[in-house]
Each structure stands twice: as C-alpha cells, then as structure tokens.
C-alpha cells in the first residue's frame, strides 16, 4: 500500500490537489478494497477525484452516469439484437442457433460489466448515484459485494479484476444505509484558500502565484455571500482562465473587469443581481 503522502504527490502530479484526508481515503480504498463514496456540494471536484485516480493508476476510467430510470440493460449488459437477428436469418433451421446467438459474441458490455472484465483493474466511477432509483441502488449493492454478474442465458460471469470504485453523490436523495455501509465515506468540501490557490496554479496556465491567491481569496469571499448557487472549483478555474486571458495580473488594477467577469462565477440571475459593483468592491477590499 502506498502511503498517503505518496498518493497526495501522485494525485498532484496528475493535476488534482488533494488534502491529506482524501489521500488517506484513497490509501484505505486499496487496503480494505472498499468503494469510496464521495459526498459534497456540486462543483467541489468529486468527479475529478476519479479521473485523477485513473491517471495515478495509469488505468482506464469507466464512467456510469446515473439518472432516474437507469436500468440494468443500460448499466450492465445488453444483447446485440441486430446481429442476433441477422444470425438467426442466416442460420434458419439450425437447431443450435439459440445457443449461438446468446453467446459472448453477441453480448454488448455496458459500464458495470466492462469494469469487472478488464484485464487491468480500471477505475469505475458511478457518478451521481443519488439520481438513480432505489431499485438500482439495491442492484448495485449486490454487484459491489460479489463482483460477479448473472446473465440468464450465460450463467454467472465472475470478475476478472476488482475495479477501484468511486461513487459520487450530491445529496439530493438520502442513500440507503446498506450502500453507505459498504463504502468508505469522504465528505468533499469547498477547498480552503491555500488549496484553491494551488489548484489554480496547477490547472490554469499563465496564472501567477499572487493572482491565484487573490482569485482564491475573492472566491472564498463570494462563497460566504448569500447565494443561490455557490460557485464551485470549475467556476473558479473558468474565471481564472478568463482573467489570465484578459492579461490581468492584479485584481485591484481592474475592478470593473473583475466585476464584469464575475459571470464566470455567478450562474443565476438573482446571484448576479445580489453581487453589485459595491459588493465586488467590498470583496476586493478584503483581498490583499
């Protein structure tokens, strides 16, 4: 097992600045072979964790985006019906055609089946699990505990490798205790100024340390305002890229541009109206 410092460094090398807690969680994932459940507000970088993890392990990222009504055939496997029909037509009258068309050759892998059938363990990202139905959650529980799949026509397909599973949830629906208990839990919060500065530096080409620090401080101030939609890290990065693109090196030099470019951070009409030029000025005042 890699130590958490090594993991934090490896994540940083792949562009994800993790805090010590998250590095511990990832080292535990490997030690205990449990899925990692990441919960937190939208935009705090939950999905990015899985992407970075795939880079660290130099392996494939298989993503299952959950939505209401997601069922087994979209998540697990499906038969290739067109090819099956063609094969049946071509071998009309053959007795063994039924066995043939329900063989691996005609099986279409969907993310979950793909994840357990890869020769090298991939990272399986089950994104926004809270959007899926209760039934799907229960089904997932079975898959995640046994890592094998039953296909009526083929029998049981065991896992070749056990994937590194990351689940994310925005907390829009309460997940079942059974699922929570199977997972390691990590709450992803908005980053502090220091971490956000490092994230900007790592991700935005051309951002200077002093500008990155100013941006991180101002975003921290904005998050404390009463907003309907608090800006996440992706928004911060957009804004930083916009400022760098406009050749701004110090926020105090161009308060008007700063205010105008806040559209990168504020995504609702009310929030835009709430952060007036005066508010921007006040926030800028706190940014040393």
Q: Footprint of other proteins on this chain (CB under 8 A)? A: 1, 4, 20-21, 24-25, 28, 31-32, 34, 36, 39, 79, 81, 84-85, 87-89, 92-93, 97-98, 101, 133-135, 171-174, 177, 180-181, 183-187
Minimum CB separation from other proteins for residue 141, in Å?
A: 13
- Cβ nearer to other proteins, comparing 25 with 240: 25
Give the pairing of strands 148-151 and 155-158.
Answer: antiparallel
Using DSSP, state whether 147 is helix, strand or coil. Answer: coil
Torsions phi, psi for 26 (to 5 deg) = -70, -35
Residue closer to other proteins by CB (options 189, 250) is 189
* Nearest in space to 147 (alpha carbons), one of 165, 129, 166, 130: 165
If the CB atoms of residues 99 and 194 are measured against other proteins, the closer one turns out to be 99
Nearer to other proteins, 79 or 202 (CB): 79
User: At closest approach, how far in Å is the CB of 1 from other proteins?
Assistant: 8
Q: How far apart are CA 274 and CA 28, in angstroms?
A: 43
Q: What angle, rounded to 10 degrees, do the helices at 209-224 and 277-286 form?
A: 120
Closest approach of other proteins to the CB of residue 131, in Å: 9
Q: Which is nearer to other proteins, 137 or 196 (CB)?
A: 137
Q: What is the rounded CA–CA span in Å between residue 203 and residue 250?
A: 19
Cα distance between residue 272 and residue 225, in whole Å:
12
Which CB atom, from 133 or from 260, has the smaller least distance to other proteins?
133
**Rounded distance, CA 15 to CA 49, Å?**
10
Tell me how far CA of residue 273 lies from CA of 217, 254, 262, 269, 281, in angstroms. 21, 20, 11, 6, 15
How buried is residue 58: exposed, middle or buried, by Cβ count under 10 Å (0-12/13-18/19+)? exposed
Q: Please identify, using beta-carbon distances, which residue of 185 and 286 lies nearer to other proteins.
A: 185
Q: Where are the alpha helices (DSSP H) in 183-252?
A: 193-203, 209-224, 233-245
Q: Considering the complex, what minimum distance in angstroms separates the CB of residue 242 from other proteins?
A: 30
| Cβ at position 2, least distance to other proteins in Å | 13
Question: Shortest approach of other proteins to residue 90 CB, angstroms?
Answer: 9
User: DSSP letter at 68?
Assistant: T
State in angstroms the smallest separation of the CB of 81 from other proteins: 4
């Amino acid at each position: 097992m890699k130590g958490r410092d090594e993991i934090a460094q490896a994540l940083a090398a792949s562009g994800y600045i993790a805090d010590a807690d998250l590095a511990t969680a990832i080292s535990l994932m490997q030690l205990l072979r449990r899925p990692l459940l990441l919960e937190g507000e939208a935009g705090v970088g939950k999905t990015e964790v899985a992407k970075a993890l795939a880079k660290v392990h130099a392996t494939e990222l298989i993503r299952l985006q959950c939505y209401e009504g997601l069922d087994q055939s979209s998540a697990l496997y499906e038969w290739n019906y067109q090819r099956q029909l063609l094969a049946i037509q071509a071998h009309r009258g053959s007795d063994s055609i039924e066995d043939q068309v329900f063989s691996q050759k005609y099986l279409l892998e969907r993310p979950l089946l793909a994840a357990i059938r890869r020769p090298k363990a991939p990272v399986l990202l089950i994104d926004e699990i809270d959007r899926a139905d209760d039934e799907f959650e229960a089904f997932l529980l079975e898959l995640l505990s046994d890592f094998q799949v039953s296909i009526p026509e083929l029998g049981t397909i065991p896992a070749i490798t056990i994937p590194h599973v990351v689940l994310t949830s925005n907390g829009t629906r309460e997940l079942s205790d059974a699922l929570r208990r199977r997972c390691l839990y990590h709450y992803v919060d908005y980053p502090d100024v220091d971490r956000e500065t490092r994230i900007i530096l790592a991700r935005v080409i051309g951002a200077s340390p002093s500008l990155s620090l100013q941006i991180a401080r101002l975003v921290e101030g904005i998050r404390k305002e009463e907003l309907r939609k608090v800006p996440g890290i992706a928004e911060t990065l957009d804004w930083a890229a916009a400022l760098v693109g406009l050749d701004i090196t110090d926020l105090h030099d161009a308060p008007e541009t700063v205010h105008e470019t806040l559209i990168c951070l504020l995504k609702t009409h009310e929030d835009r109206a709430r952060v007036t030029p005066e508010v921007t000025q006040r926030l800028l005042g706190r940014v040393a």
